[in-house]
Amino acid sequence: MSNIVAIVGRPNVGKSTFFNRLIQRREAIVDAVSGVTRDRHYGKSDWNGKEFSLIDTGGYVKGSDDIFEAEIDKQVELAIDEADAIIFMVDVESGVTGMDEDVAKLLRKVDKPVFLVVNKVDNGKRAEDAVEFYSLGLGEYFTIASINGSGTGDLLDALVEALPEKTEEEAAAEKDELPRFAVVGRPNAGKSSFINALIGEDRYIVTDIAGTTRDSIDTKYNRFGFEFNLVDTAGIRKKSKVKEDLEFYSVMRSVRAIEHCDVCLLVLDATRGFDGQVQNIFWLAERNRKGIVILVNKWDLIEKDTKTTKQFEAYIREQISPFTDVPIVFISVLNKQRIYKAIETAVEVYQNRTKRIKTSELNDVMLPIIENYPPPAYKAKYVKIKYVMQLPTPQPQFAFFCNLPQYIKEPYKRFLENKLREKFNFHGVPVSVYMRKK
């Protein structure tokens, strides 16, 4: 279970540069996943063997300066609610500003680790100038230059030291936990209503004001002889704090739920389509390698002709390519149409995600395919794949052992992934293919 660290501060202090530095260091090694990362404001990082999720709140603020102030307050409040630790970034060049003081005022009341980070300190003179940030009343500060990374090591040492450890109970609970299905999506898509319809009781208050559920709530559920936890991610919070269009809100809410689930049921409102925010949540689930089922809700409100479903489905698959092997179920929570079909599909996806394939069977199926379609030669060198095995990870990952792994390019890896999907059915599950030196 990884902790969440939020980076807050006013615009242009260097939050994104710092964020990219932390993420890329790791993505370059770990996250060579097919398809570009669509959402630049969320990523995973680790330091001294401790993994954490990083959220750059700056990427979510859009609008003019006067809107900024209100938005930034909201984001800081959200970050305070959701994150396990907060990095508050300020800029030595501009000194303490009124907006910095506003943010500091919110952060002084917080019972979580807050790290005041003075950016753009790249010489001795600037290090002296940083002293004025003591006036923010947040105690000690760290000086860094996110452009070249100086000072980040000390900050990260202190950060991972302060992140809460997993308690023994949590660790034990994780071991014998039931499968978790998280119901995610943007506000007002019908997530709580979907869960109510399944459970047949109004466990959640359902209103059509966005954001009336606070904290994810787990419900044990048994269907088709299969027991699992349903996690609702909507969350009750003070109405004043939520602006319906606050994209950051949905993403922040979904991060935790997605990280700790096995399958994501992504509910979208058919009348709004598969918009940018829904796509963000989709790619978040894909990058965390979770099973995914897309539920198109309010289908009863769409004017239909014979082709409507097919066209809508084709449009979604176009948006999510190259990972198109995902089930799409058209539902109407109001009329209880196909809601059990949705759960049945999620159970299948869960089973696909936890599937183990015998090494002998894997080689019997894959090696002849590779022999018929070998990887293209590179610089007159021939790549020979000798052996394949599934790695012992919670989701499907496969290692192909060969003589020259560095010469196998993305298109061929995608070919192998597609063949694995075709032969072994990994419908709804991201599959990772790694090349290893034999």
Got the DSSP string for 44-55? Answer: EEEETTEEEEEE
Residues 254-264 as b or e (16 or more Cβ within 10 Å = b)? bbbbbbbbbbb
- Flag the least confident range among 152-156, 194-198, 344-348, 351-355: 194-198
List, as own/partner pairs, every contact residues 232-235 make where C-beta atoms lie below 8 angstroms and the sequence separation is at least 24, other chains included. 232/183, 232/191, 232/192, 232/195, 232/204, 233/182, 233/183, 233/184, 233/191, 233/257, 234/187, 234/191, 234/192, 234/204, 235/211
Whether the pTM exceeds 0.85: the reply is: no
Helices (H) and strands (E) counted in the chain, each on its own, are 13, 15
Q: Which of 73-82, 339-348, 417-426 has the lowest mean pLDDT?
A: 73-82
At residue 208, the pLDDT reads: 46
Rounded distance, CA 315 to CA 270, Å?
12
* Rounded distance between C-alpha atoms, residue 196 and residue 201, angstroms: 6
Indicate the burial class of 127 (C-beta count within 10 angstroms; 0-12, 13-18, 19 or more).
middle
What would the mean pLDDT of 334-359 be, rounded to a whole number? 91
What average pLDDT does the segment 270-280 reach?
A: 85
- By three-state DSSP, how is residue 196 classified? helix
Residues within the annotated binding site?
9-16, 56-60, 119-122, 185-192, 232-236, 297-300
Structural domains for the chain: 3-162 (3.40.50.300), 177-354 (3.40.50.300), 359-437 (3.30.300.20)
Report pLDDT for 278. Answer: 85
Higher local confidence (pLDDT), 138 or 10: 138
Question: 29 or 57, which is more confident?
Answer: 57
Residue 142 pLDDT level (bands cut at 50, 70, 90) = very high
For residue 209, the tally of other CB atoms under 10 A from its CB is 10
Closest by Cα among 96, 95, 78 to 86 = 78
Q: Which of 418, 270, 382, 408 is nearest to 330 (CA)?
A: 270
**Residues that constitute the known binding site for GTP:** 9-16, 56-60, 119-122, 185-192, 232-236, 297-300
Q: What is the pLDDT at residue 394? A: 86
Mean pLDDT over 44-62 rounds to 74
Segment 125-132 shows an average pLDDT of: 89
Please tell me the predicted confidence (pLDDT) of residue 197.
82
Asked if 359 and 325 count as a contact pair (C-beta separation under 8 A), the reply is no
pLDDT beyond 90 at 159: yes
